[in-house]
């Protein structure tokens, strides 16, 4: 499941408290600029998608739930 995988990745990226799909990532200060770039890289490589300029809006990265929704809007290649 995309949400669970993203939570585990983010917990590795910003060690500390557990992250769930509703954690406030940007407004809550969990992700700084560098971590956000790393997250975008991770998403593009893991799901073989190219995020568009319209995707790169902070609102799409505010929670794991929103990130997963954005990923699902792309055609994710089946393995």
Partner 1 sequence: MTIEAVADLLPQLAQRHTRPDWDRLAMADMFRLPLAPRYGGLGLAPGIVVEHLLQLGRLGLDPSVFLAASAHLWAVQYPIEHFGSEMQRSSLLPALASGALVGAHAVTEPDAGSDVSGMRTSARPVANGYVINGRKTFVTNGPDADLVLLIARTGPNAALGLTAFLVDRATPGLELTKPTLVAGGLSVAPIGDVVFDDCHVGSDAVLGRPGQGLRIFLAAMQVERLFILVPALGAALARLEAGASTAGTARNGKTEALTDVLVATLTARRAAAEFTFGTSSYWRSSVVKLSASRALSVAARHTTGLDEPPDALMHAQAAAIYSGTTNVHRDVLARQLGLVDRGHR
Q: Would you call 2 helix, strand, or coil by DSSP?
A: helix
Which one of 3-11, 36-44, 67-75 is the stretch in contact with partner 1 (CB under 8 A)? Answer: 36-44
Distance between CA atoms of residues 79 and 17, nearest Å: 32
At 39, list the tokens: 């997250």
Among 53, 75, 77, 78, binds partner 1 (CB under 8 A): 53
Query: Rule CB under 8 A: is residue 30 a binding residue for partner 1?
Result: yes
Residue that has been written with the tokens 């910003």 in this structure? 14
Distance between CA atoms of residues 66 and 10, nearest Å: 14
Which one of 1-9, 57-65, 68-76 is the stretch in contact with partner 1 (CB under 8 A)? Answer: 57-65
Query: Which residues bind to partner 1, rule: CB under 8 A?
Result: 13-16, 28-30, 32-38, 40-41, 50-53, 55-58, 61
């Amino acid at each position: 499941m995309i949400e669970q995988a993203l939570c585990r990745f983010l917990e590795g990226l910003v060690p500390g408290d557990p992250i769930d799909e509703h954690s406030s990532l940007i407004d809550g200060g969990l992700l700084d600029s560098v971590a956000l770039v790393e997250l975008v890289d991770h998403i593009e490589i893991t799901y073989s998608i190219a995020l568009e300029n319209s995707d790169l809006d902070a609102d799409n990265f505010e929670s794991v739930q929103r990130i997963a929704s954005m990923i699902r809007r792309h055609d994710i290649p089946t393995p």
